[in-house]
Amino acid sequence: MKKMGLLPKLIIAIILGIIIGTFGTEWMVRILATFNGLFGNFLGFAIPLIIIGFVAPGIGDLGSDAGKLLGITAGIAYGSTIISGALAYFTSSIVLPTFLKVGSLNIDAANPEEALLSAYFEVEMPPIFGVMTALLIAFTIGLGIAAIKGDVIKRFMSEFQSIIEMLISKLIIPLLPFHILGIFANMTHAGQVATILSVFARVFVMVILLHIVVLIIQFTIAGAFAGGNPFRLLRTMIPAYFTAIGTQSSAATIPITLEQTKKNGVQDEIADFVIPLCATIHLSGSTITLVSCSMAIMMLNGMPFSLASMFPFILMLGITMVAAPGVPGGAVIAALGLLETMLGFPSAMLSLMIALYVAQDSFGTATNVTGDGAIALMVNKISGYDLNK
């Protein structure tokens, strides 16, 4: 079980949750609901700390390597992430209403526990400060580190980031399957699981197709700009794509991404700079998944959404997920604060979001790292190099 990946554990948790919700007694479901309440409250406490632990060191590290090449790479990566999120918004706006019934899920944004069994008891775990305060603190510290090049605060934030990464990888991620088990047990007991599973399957297909479209667009642009056949360039990156599906981590896939990028003719020094950098700042696949899944859940719950509300969320996603840890599900953990404050997700909807995202996380990561190769092609040309034969 220790070596089993997060996705198989998640699938097992969903199956067990459905079984318990169908055949188990009410007290069994309420015990799981009690665990969910405790875990959800702890997650709420941890979100501001996670934001500071991710964003401040990420901005500080970018600033320490400041230069023209950094600015170009970061600008292309951020633009790719935002365009991918916007494409996901428009596609979801058109496609989701064709197979989702608005308001078909009984989790009201104002009363998220309406149709679910309540916990036996609750333990309040108030966060030390709000999510927006955490973002402002993270930006201030990160930009400060970059500006003054202070070693002391940089080392402190680096060690704090290691603590947060350990918190996620050793506590939050291992407990996620139990949290999902409880959610599905409770929703099955409330008669809502058929709706959720139907959403899982259809949104999954839509998201994978969007990933493929975005990769074709990225390599078509990069190929035209760099002077190469886009489909040959994309085909060369396929080993990185499948490696990322297995590792579910952009960081763990860097060696393969680097090797395949150099095979595409990118100069060694350009690839050595762009690929590790983009592993933390280019998140086009993850953004597509987060935007599509969040809109599906909002639609199911009858919550209004528009470009005016979703576009700022997309813009913030591109920043908040910077330097997300190389662990499965890291992007959605980083995004929970934005989902709560900008889109109004209550605890039960955050839990559904985690389940829906993690099921597709490996494909989003694979799209991220494959797209890194396209960015490297563009930066290589901008730097004055032609592709090596």
* Domains defined for the chain, CATH in brackets: 13-27+66-117+190-382 (1.10.3860.10)
Per-residue model confidence as pLDDT tens digits over 302-315: 888 888 889 999 99
Three-class SS state of 371: helix
Per-residue model confidence as pLDDT tens digits over 5-64: 666 887 888 889 889 988 888 888 899 889 988 888 888 888 788 878 877 877 776 655
Per-residue model confidence as pLDDT tens digits over 171-217: 887 888 888 888 888 878 877 777 777 777 888 899 999 999 999 99
CA atoms within 13 A on the CB side of 235: 5
Whether the per-residue pLDDT at 67 is higher than 70: the answer is no
Other beta carbons less than 10 A from residue 209's beta carbon: 12
Whether the per-residue pLDDT at 108 is higher than 70: the answer is no
State how far the Cα of 36 lies from the Cα of 191, in Å rounded to an integer.
18
Whether the per-residue pLDDT at 4 is higher than 80: the answer is no
The distance from CA 149 to its chain's CA centroid, rounded to whole angstroms, is 30
State how far the Cα of 4 lies from the Cα of 256, in Å rounded to an integer.
22
What's the DSSP call for residue 98? G
Whole-prediction pTM value? 0.78
Q: Contact, 19 vs 187, CB < 8 A?
A: no
Question: How buried is 123 (Cβ within 10 angstroms: 0-12 exposed, 13-18 middle, 19+ buried)?
Answer: exposed
The residues near 289 (Cβ < 8 Å, ≥ 6 apart) are: 88, 207, 357, 360, 361, 363, 364
Q: Which of 100-109, 146-155, 157-166, 362-371 has the lowest mean pLDDT?
A: 100-109
CA distances, 325 to each of 35, 139, 250, 339 (Å): 25, 18, 9, 19
Confidence of residue 104 (pLDDT cuts 50, 70, 90): low
The distance from CA 366 to its chain's CA centroid, rounded to whole angstroms, is 12
Confidence of residue 378 (pLDDT cuts 50, 70, 90): very high
